[in-house]
């Protein structure tokens, strides 16, 4: 860890890691919920419509507010961008760093280190 004046530790990397974990959790829960609610179409068209009404606030406010869905879509987009921006700091940005990372993966044979490569790859694919 980097040390700064008077022996205090730099807490920014820990805060960024925590933020990345929280945003990743939010995105994971969103995807699972999205899959669950979208699959209501398999039950019936009417059930899908009722799910749509629920997300538009009909059962809470007595009328629909489609803006709720737009707000939620915007919020998830912001969470996605924050998550991606924080994750980018961990990707090797030059050949030397990439070579060191590859040597670690091969030499350590540690599952989490190997999975990190997969996370970078899938994250980059999702970003595109």
Checking if the pLDDT of 2 tops 70, the result is no
- pTM of the full predicted structure? 0.76
Domain CATH code at residue 65: 1.20.1300.10
In total, how many domains does the chain have?
A: 1
Q: What does the alpha-carbon distance between residue 6 and residue 70 come to, in Å, rounded to a whole number?
A: 48
Please state, in angstroms and rounded to a whole number, the distance separating the CA atoms of residues 120 and 70. Answer: 29
Q: Is residue 63 part of a domain?
A: yes
Looking at residue 16, its pLDDT comes to 94
Is residue 86 within 8 Å of 47, Cβ to Cβ? no
pLDDT of residue 74: 97
The predicted pLDDT at position 39 comes to 95
What are the pLDDT digits (tens) for 83-107? Answer: 989 988 888 888 898 888 888 888 8
How many C-beta atoms surround the C-beta of residue 13 within 10 A? 13
59 is in which domain, residue-wise?
10-127
Contact partners, residue 39, CB within 8 Å, separation at least 6:
none
- DSSP code for 6: G
């Amino acid at each position: 860890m980097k040390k700064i004046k008077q022996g205090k530790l730099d807490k920014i990397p820990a805060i960024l890691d925590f933020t990345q974990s929280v945003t990743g959790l939010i995105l994971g829960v969103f995807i699972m919920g999205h899959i669950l609610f979208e699959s209501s179409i398999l039950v019936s068209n009417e059930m899908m419509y009722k799910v749509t009404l629920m997300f538009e606030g009909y059962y809470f406010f007595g009328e629909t507010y489609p803006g709720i869905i737009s707000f939620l879509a915007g919020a998830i987009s912001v969470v996605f961008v924050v998550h991606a921006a924080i994750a980018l700091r961990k990707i090797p940005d030059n050949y030397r760093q990439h070579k060191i990372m590859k040597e670690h993966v091969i030499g350590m044979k540690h599952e989490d280190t190997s999975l990190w490569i997969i996370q970078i790859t899938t994250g980059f694919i999702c970003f595109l």
